[in-house]
Amino acid sequence: MSKSDADLGRLLTEVCAANQELSARGLARFTFGNASGIDRASGLVVIKPSGVAYSQLRPDNMVVVDLGGSVLRGDLRPSSDLPTHLELYRAFDHVGGVVHTHSHFATVWAQARRAIPCLGTTHADAFHGEVPVTEHLSDRDIASEYEANTGREIVRCFGGRDARHVAAVLVAGHAPFCWGASVGQAVDTAEMLEEVARMAYHTMALDAAAAPLPTALAEKHFTRKHGPDAYYGQGKST
């Protein structure tokens, strides 16, 4: 088996497991939600087949496509959200995995079309600043290439921000997309986003005028966990 075959085999297994995790962790009910991963060396993307129950997923029924969206392997149609995933892989070159869920509280913020403010250190530990929400697409952008245009709107929404520091977005009226260096990391981010969204929801309900965390405190917590001065966890040297 060649190296590239081995890499693809590993990715099929990882993406299958990530999709099953979405269901196991309560982030995707029914067949809502899908996960994909990319092998940057070959440019191959592996994604969940559309409308198949999580319990029936196996590495060998994942769909393999290229970055243009052509199906290279598999008898099943890829997730209908594939074009959104592809836009993210093209725009954010550090991203190795993408996850879409309808997790409850993140979806509630998306439905209310509100960015999730950074209200506490739980948020600041995971996301650098608010989790943004997109604008609604125009009727024209819905009529043609809806899913690709959703991806383009996400990219536009990030503008100059580093998508590694806030690895999640709320699509207006729809639900979140998350990403990471690997598809497993993207699943972890989706789970963290749900908890942060739930905490922010209840905080706003308790006090509609709750203020965002002071900047110095938010920076402290983010840099304690991320970047060159991080001192949380066991680091490289232990």
Indicate the SS3 state at residue 116. strand
Question: What's the rounded Cα separation, in Å, for the pair 119 and 151?
Answer: 27
Where are the extended beta strands (E) located within the chain? 34-39, 44-47, 63-65, 71-73, 97-100, 168-170, 176-180
**Interacting residues toward a copy of itself by CB under 8 A:** 29-32, 49-52, 75-77, 80, 102, 104-105, 107-114, 119-122, 125, 136-137, 139, 142-143, 146, 173-175, 188, 191-192, 195, 198-207, 210-211, 213-214, 216-217, 220, 224, 231-235, 238
Closest approach of a copy of itself to the CB of residue 146, in Å: 6
Cβ-based nearer residue to a copy of itself, 159 or 231? 231
- Give 39 or 125: the residue with its C-beta nearer to a copy of itself: 125
Q: Which of 125, 139, 141, 231 is catalytic?
A: 125
Active site residue 125: yes
Q: Which is nearer to a copy of itself, 93 or 139 (CB)?
A: 139
Shortest separation between residue 211's beta carbon and a copy of itself, angstroms: 8
HSE value, Cβ hemisphere, 13 Å, CA-based, for 153: 22
Q: Is 232 a catalytic residue?
A: yes
Between CA 36 and CA 98 the distance in angstroms is 5
CB 65 within 8 A of CB 137: no
Residue labelled with tokens 């929400």: 133
| Residue 125 CB, nearest approach to a copy of itself (Å) | 8
Active site residues: 125, 232
